[in-house]
Amino acid sequence: MRVRARFPLAVLAAALLAATPASADSASDAARLERRLDPETSARVMEIVDAAREAGLPTAPLVARALEGASQQARNESILVEVQKLSAALGEARRSLGHESKETEIVAGASALVAGVPTDSLARLRASRPAESLTISLVVLCDLVARGVPQPTASGAVLSAVRAGGTDRDLLRMREHVHDQIRRGAAPGGAAERGLRELLGRRLSARGPAGAPGKERAR
């Protein structure tokens, strides 16, 4: 009898233990939102946040997006649309990048999707760099698109850089190069092309003649 009586209690205790962190997170998120949004908008944002949490998606960016909207005095409906859009993008990013992806990769991927980068670009980047972080690559891609580089050119440039073995440092430097040229008045697409070319040239020169594929034709 004792054993029977204890079993449901153990199950209940385990369930409570398992549920507590998520509940605490949810309560904390709700409190932060209620301080800045009206009760109805806050509750509707929390529905999206809780659904994302159940799906195993990062939720901090959703709360942050709602608070960002509140700080920018956006309309409540606009805030809800943006939070929902970001939640969907997080799910898409995780599908495209793989379920083993780091949280920062998923968040960066979602930003790229929101910027207009298609999901297959994310999948191609992952295929080109399966074992290393894509966070910086995705941040650079998002930045290029945000600065007016046409999306196919931006995706092609970042993908080419990654496939050529470009490191995160190389990508950040390419971004700075592109940014600098745009600031000086260059067309964004041309700036991205020159940024990529500079990266590729640097990698070639760093490798030296010994590393060059002497027997392979360029085309």
Burial 85-116 (b: 16+ CB within 10 A, else e): ebbbbbbbbbebbeeebeeebbbbbbbbbbbe
Considering the complex, what minimum distance in angstroms separates the CB of residue 136 from other proteins?
5
Closer by beta carbon to other proteins, 18 or else 206: 206
Residue 56 touching other proteins (CB under 8 A):
no
Q: Contact between 92 and other proteins (CB under 8 A)?
A: no
168 belongs to the binding site for other proteins (CB under 8 A): yes
- For the chain, the farthest-separated pair of C-alpha atoms sits apart, in whole angstroms, at 82
Q: Does 53 bind other proteins (CB under 8 A)?
A: no
Does 78 help bind other proteins (rule: CB under 8 A)? yes
User: What is the distance between the alpha carbons of residues 169 and 199, in angstroms, rounded to a whole number?
Assistant: 10
Instruction: With contacts defined by CB under 8 A, name the span among 14-22, 45-53, 91-99, 181-189 that binds other proteins.
Output: 181-189
Which residue from 71, 99, 209, 210 is in contact with other proteins, where contact means CB under 8 A? 71
Beta strands, E only, the chain: none
> E strand or H helix at 1, and its extent?
none
Report residue 201 as tokens.
Answer: 């040239």
* Nearest of 214, 144, 201 to residue 170 by alpha carbon: 201
Instruction: Look at the block and give the residue holding tokens 């092609």.
Output: 156
Strand, helix or coil for residue 200: helix
Binding track, positions 184-203, relative to other proteins; x by CB under 8 A: xxxx-xx--xx-xx--xx-x
Binding residue for other proteins, selected from 37, 142, 149, 174, defined by CB under 8 A? 142
Looking at residues 2 to 31 of the shown chain, list those that interact with other proteins (rule: CB under 8 A).
none
Residue 169 interacting with other proteins (CB under 8 A) = yes
Q: Which of 25, 26, 32, 34 binds other proteins (CB under 8 A)?
A: 32
